Structure 1
Amino acid sequence: MGYELSKKEIGERIASLRLKKSFSQEDLAKSISISRPSLTQIELGNRVVSLSEMQRLSMVLGFSLDDFMTKDFLTYQSLKLPEETTDDAIVERISVPILNINKFKNVLLYILERCAGKPNVGETVLYKLLYFSDFNYYELYEEHLTGAKYKKLPYGPVPQKLDSIINQMIDANQLQRIKTEYKGFPQKRYLPMEKADLTTFKASEKDVIDKVIEQMSDWSATAISDYSHKDLPWEVTEEGKDISYNLAFYRELPYSVRVYDEEEND
């Protein structure tokens, strides 16, 4: 009789095999005729795998079902995970963000164009509007919007290289930096000196940015920071490390922006 595996162990083994074979979640899900969110739930140990699904997984990933059910399967496969497997280890895939500086500048200008007149939109709120625009777009389309990398810092996600990009834009007279006060606290703000080039945006990109602006641009710095701290990509990332875009696929409501049409099995 086979070793009794928990759903979590089954999920970890499938995730490990997928990574070993360099499959994305999307590719593996298509190969075994299930949805990507279903595979996500399997890898997280939240969904039971049917026998027919296991058979398809064994064919695509190249393992024996009998071997899979043994206690030392991962050792045999040279795939043993650390004792405490983290979500970002499970979802790692080949999708390296590459910063598109021109796109980033235009997204920044567009957000400021729409929000610079709002007294609450200082540097802190601006960082979060950029973060949610980038991560919401990636969750929806599995493509990078600006390709900016974000680091987990105590006050929330912060886009890397932002200071140098802003300084370039100030030197080019595209932005103006002002220091002011808001509700008794010092505030750093930016004013757009030119309009964003909307021809650089796809309709889908502008739509995602618009929705982020509509939802969050009236929030205070404290409110938007608190909200970002409960977003799974920020929450599970180690302090000071880059936040993986792929963690956006593990979001739940109210953070998830993708509508999944398949009900998950218990």
Structure 2
Amino acid sequence: MIAANKTNSVTEKTRELLIYIANQLQDKPNYGATLLNKAFYFIDSVSYLKRREPISSFLYEKQKNGPTPKPSQLLSLRDELCENGDITIVEKERFGFIQKKLIAKRPSNNELFSKDEIILIDEVLKNICDISATDISDFSHQFMAWKYARDREELPLFTYLLTYKTASENDRNWANSKLNQRVTMSNY
């Protein structure tokens, strides 16, 4: 499912997700490009883990400040939404840096999202909305996938849970039972 969109195009749902996130975060003083990038990454990663599919159509890659949507996808979408008047970019100085906020000019079309997707999005945003750009970047650098990827290498969402920990006996037993179920089912 994750590899379904190998092009630079984005879906209508992804457009509306950007507008939804912008509406939810626009009043947060720490909201800028970094928090937006991490919001997308964490929303899609958690969705992939819980529902086996992301909410957006973005691909993710390693960037200096952590995982981000593929820039050609996100920047094209940003430019399109600016041209359409759906968002505007506001730049302001914050702690000696220029913070770029995407501000929604309209409400998102929430009919494109299931109730469970809205709950998941809101939960992720609630957990990251007050984290500074530096802290959320530093946090994203702890993920093994980011640590070991080359610059601008794609980070498939299944890599979100890579860990240094050795699997416990319970983990191995669970995995073996799942493999055995697949083998049994494939015999039919």
Normalised by the shorter chain, which TM-score bucket? 0.7 to 0.9
Secondary structure class of the residue paired with 1:263 = helix
Work out the CA distance in 2 between the residues paired with 1:202 and 1:233.
29
Question: In 1, Cα distance between the equivalents of 2:112 and 2:92?
Answer: 32
Q: Give the Cα–Cα distance (whole angstroms) in 1 for the partners of residues 26 and 53 of structure 2.
A: 27
Letter in 2 for 1:225: S
User: How big is the alpha-carbon RMSD for the aligned residues of Structure 1 and Structure 2?
Assistant: 2.2
Relative to the length of structure 1, the TM-score reads 0.58
Which ranges of structure 1 fall in alignment gaps of 5 or more residues?
1-93, 254-261
CA contact (8 A) 1:138 1:248 kept: no
Cα distance in 2 between the residues matched to 1:155 and 1:139: 23
Secondary structure class of the residue paired with 1:147: coil
Q: Percent identity?
A: 27
- TM-score normalised per structure 2: 0.80
Tell me the alpha carbon deviations over residues 85-119 of structure 1, each in whole angstroms, 9 at most, x when there is no partner.
xxxxxxxxx74142642111111111111110111
Find the aligned partners of 1:113 and 1:144 in 2 and give their Cα distance: 20
Aligned to 2:139: 227
Report the Cα distance in structure 2 between the residues aligned to 1:131 and 1:170, rounded to whole angstroms. 22
1:264 pairs with 2:171? yes
Provide the secondary structure at the position in 2 that maps to 1:191: strand
CA distance in 2, matches of 1:196, 1:112: 9
Identify the structure with the greater helix proportion. 2
- Tell me the amino acid that sits aligned with residue 131 of structure 1: Y
Q: For the structure 1 residues 240 and 122, does the alpha-carbon distance in structure 2 shift closer, same or farther, using more than 3 Å as the test?
A: same
Deviation at 1:186, TM superposition (A): 1.3
Change in CA separation of 1:249 and 1:220 when aligned onto 2, cut-off 3 Å: closer
From 101, 109, 118, the equivalent of 2:11 is: 101
Distance in 2 between residues matched to 1:265 and 1:151, nearest whole Å: 30
Distance in structure 2 (CA, Å) of the matches to 1:200 and 1:169: 17
> Following TM superposition, by how much is the alpha carbon of 1:265 offset from its aligned partner in structure 2, in angstroms?
5.3
Match of 1:116? 26
Match of 1:216 among 125, 128, 139: 128
Kept in 2, the 8 Å contact 1:97–1:148? The answer is no
Question: After the TM superposition, which parts of structure 1 deviate over 3 Å for at least 4 consecutive aligned residues?
Answer: 249-253
* 1:245 equivalenced with 2:157 (yes/no): yes
Report the alpha carbon displacement of residue 252 of structure 1 after superposing the two structures with TM.
8.3
Q: CA deviation at 1:212?
A: 1.0
Taking a change above 3 Å as real, the CA distance of residues 251 and 105 of structure 1, as seen in their structure-2 partners, is farther
Distance 1:148 1:180, change over 3 A: same
Q: Deviations over 1:47-74 (max 9, x none)?
A: xxxxxxxxxxxxxxxxxxxxxxxxxxxx
Counting only pairs closer than 5 Å after superposition, residues 39-50 of structure 1 correspond to structure 2 as none
Question: Which residue, 65, 70, 88 being the options, matches 1:155?
Answer: 65
CA distance in 2, matches of 1:116, 1:132: 18
Provide the secondary structure at the position in 2 that maps to 1:264. Answer: helix
Structure 2: runs of 5+ lacking an equivalent = 174-188
- Aligned to 2:150, what secondary structure does the other structure show? coil
Higher relative contact order (CA 8 A, sep 6+): 2
Bigger radius of gyration among the two = 1
C-alpha contact 1:103 1:146 (8 A) present in aligned 2: yes
CA distance in 2, matches of 1:263, 1:103: 38
- Distance in 1, Cα, partners of 2:54 & 2:10: 9
Once the two structures are superposed, the pairs formed by residues 119-198 of structure 1 within 5 Å of their partners are 119-160=29-70, 161-198=73-110
Task: State the Cα distance separating 1:233 from its structure 2 match.
Answer: 3.0
* Number of equivalenced pairs: 165
CA distance in 1, matches of 2:83, 2:94: 26
